[in-house]
Amino acid sequence: MSKNINILWFRKDLRLNDNPALVEANLNSEILPIYILDTCNSNEGKMGAASKVWLYHSLKNLNSSLDNKLNFYKGDPIKIINKLIKINNINGIYWNRCYEHWEIKRDKEIKKKLTEKGIQVKSFNGSLIREPWEILKEDKTPYKVFTALYKKAYLFSDIVVKTLNKPIKINFLYKTDDFNNLDSLKLLPNLPWASNIIRDWKVGEKEANLKADIFFTKGIKNYKNGRNFPFKKNVSFLSPHIHFGEISPKQLWVKVNNIEKNENIEHFIREICWREFSYYLLYHFPHLPTANLQIKFNNFPWKNNDDYFDKWKIGKTGYPIIDAGMRELYSTGYMHNRVRMIVASFLVKNLLVHWRKGERWFWDCLFDADLANNSASWQWVAGSGADAAPYFRIFNPVTQGQKFDEDGLYTKKYLPELKNIPKKYLFNPWEAPEDILKKANINLGVNYPKPIVGIKESREKALSAFRQIK
């Protein structure tokens, strides 16, 4: 009697609990677990350097939980899957859905070709609370305003969210003859930062759940207000775990809804739903990562000064809160959410550099580089997106620093050259008297840069540019 063998294709669902594809593939079957690094279809969707580092460690953790039976491949998924079907007499293939445009196109083609060959193909929702196509306005068009979608699909709906436990018994097959090991994917660059950047993070499903439980016990108590202050411990640090599917939004939804409601709990739920909104936009407007949702911004007079952009990337703008954020990003693979908004506003509004350039830099440097979140958030800041912040909302980096890093603990952590300057001048060192700068061992233009643009002048230029497209 021949074996019943199903392929379980891991993608952005690197966990065993609440994994619907795993549960279904396991029914009366042995499972051949695979991961494919798609090098043929992704184009601009290819992972950035920091994401590859996280992926490596996440796959290593997942493989350990599978008793080292995860099979790794690199190349064109349809060719790899066809070969596996032929070698192993496969009955079906199961996966959890992805939502980038190129992934949807690829998966449809794979499903069509395999179905024609008599192979059972099933896909599942393992990454969202609700599928993007489930919610439309009365005129059958997609929502473009977050609050309207939030109320219709989540707040006032009869939504029931359930999670799935890992099957009690799973029969994973041993590796196939032609499998590759994890190192063959060449995810880790041969550079010192690849090992340094991950040192403060623990990766994997177990750590993701532990981090969530600690956050819901402690960090969430002042979440709504405390999350604005980059040195406080009131953010979850779950974003990379969510992106790679080490923990699912449904698991978080169930955890948070088991806690007595208050403004902090409700605000966290809104943040889960903002992620859902980003995926909703990406699905209905697949050009989100590359084109303005508000087409009037196609005529915006960007300056795109390369020197400004390069100094922004390495944290040499002369504005301490900006420079601290950019140095945090490059040295840790992460940036606090409030600071992300401040540095993004500075790039597109004070420097008049196109949001696409900032989005691409974040894409390469962030562990949690998520195409939906990254694109929707950059367009929100730029004013070009759906339900975007108005263009005239321009963050002042001096007052933002003074308000949200009053004691300078965050800023001085990433800018040690400013450690001795008094708080009064920390976020505007160019205004400090010479004797204060000398005492703090600061030589503007030498060991810390002078501002590359003036705040008032650059703000006026931004507003003038905006008036041209109104």
CATH of the domain at 40: 3.40.50.620
Full domain range(s) for residue 114: 5-125
pLDDT on residue 45: 72
- Higher-confidence position of 46 and 72: 72
The closest of 88, 100, 73, 92 to 29, measured between CA atoms, is 92
Q: Tell me, yes or no, whether 303 and 371 share the same domain.
A: yes
**Domain with 268 in it: what CATH number?**
1.25.40.80
**Does 161 have pLDDT greater than 90?**
yes
125, 180, 228, 302: the catalytic one is 302
Span 174-201, average pLDDT: 81
Last residue of a domain, one of 231, 261, 284: 284
Within-domain flag for 141: yes
Last residue of a domain, one of 232, 261, 284: 284
Q: Tell me, yes or no, whether 304 and 399 share the same domain.
A: yes
| Plot region of 125 (φ>0 → left; ψ -120 to 50 → alpha; else → beta) | beta
Active-site residue flag, 457: no
Q: Tell me, yes or no, whether 85 and 134 share the same domain.
A: no
Within-domain flag for 177: no
Span 333-354, average pLDDT: 97
Band the pLDDT of 157: cuts 50, 70, 90: confident
Within-domain flag for 192: no
95, 253, 363, 378: the catalytic one is 378
pLDDT digits (tens, 9 = 90+) for 18-39: 999 999 999 989 999 999 999 9
pLDDT digits (tens, 9 = 90+) for 231-256: 998 999 999 999 999 999 999 999 99
Q: Tell me, yes or no, whether 104 and 237 share the same domain.
A: no
Last residue of a domain, one of 102, 125, 148: 125
95, 253, 355, 363: the catalytic one is 355
**Domain with 335 in it: what CATH number?**
1.10.579.10
Measured at the CA of 402, the angle between CA 398 and CA 407, to 5 degrees, comes to 140
**Does 82 have pLDDT greater than 60?**
yes
**Does 383 have pLDDT greater than 70?**
yes
Q: Tell me, yes or no, whether 334 and 258 share the same domain.
A: no
The closest of 187, 178, 1 to 84, measured between CA atoms, is 178
Within-domain flag for 77: yes
Within-domain flag for 117: yes
Q: Which amino acid is at 138?
A: E
Q: Tell me, yes or no, whether 310 and 276 share the same domain.
A: no
Q: Tell me, yes or no, whether 303 and 448 share the same domain.
A: yes
pLDDT on residue 126: 97
Span 57-76, average pLDDT: 95
Q: Tell me, yes or no, whether 338 and 462 share the same domain.
A: yes
171, 225, 337, 447: the catalytic one is 337
102, 193, 274, 430: the catalytic one is 274
Within-domain flag for 191: no
pLDDT digits (tens, 9 = 90+) for 421-470: 999 999 999 999 999 999 999 999 999 999 999 999 999 999 999 999 87
**Unique residue bearing structure tokens 């177990």:** 206
Q: Tell me, yes or no, whether 304 and 344 share the same domain.
A: yes
**Does 1 have pLDDT greater than 50?**
no
Within-domain flag for 183: no
Active-site residue flag, 271: yes
Q: Tell me, yes or no, whether 343 and 276 share the same domain.
A: no
Measured at the CA of 130, the angle between CA 127 and CA 131, to 5 degrees, comes to 80
Within-domain flag for 38: yes
Q: How many domains does the chain have?
A: 3
Active-site residue flag, 355: yes
Active-site residue flag, 430: no
Q: Tell me, yes or no, whether 145 and 107 share the same domain.
A: no
Active-site residue flag, 205: no
State the DSSP string of 22-41: HHHHTTTSEEEEEEEEE-SS
- pTM attached to this predicted model: 0.95
Q: Tell me, yes or no, whether 355 and 403 share the same domain.
A: yes
- In angstroms, the Cα distances linking 104 to 110, 123, 291 are 10, 11, 19
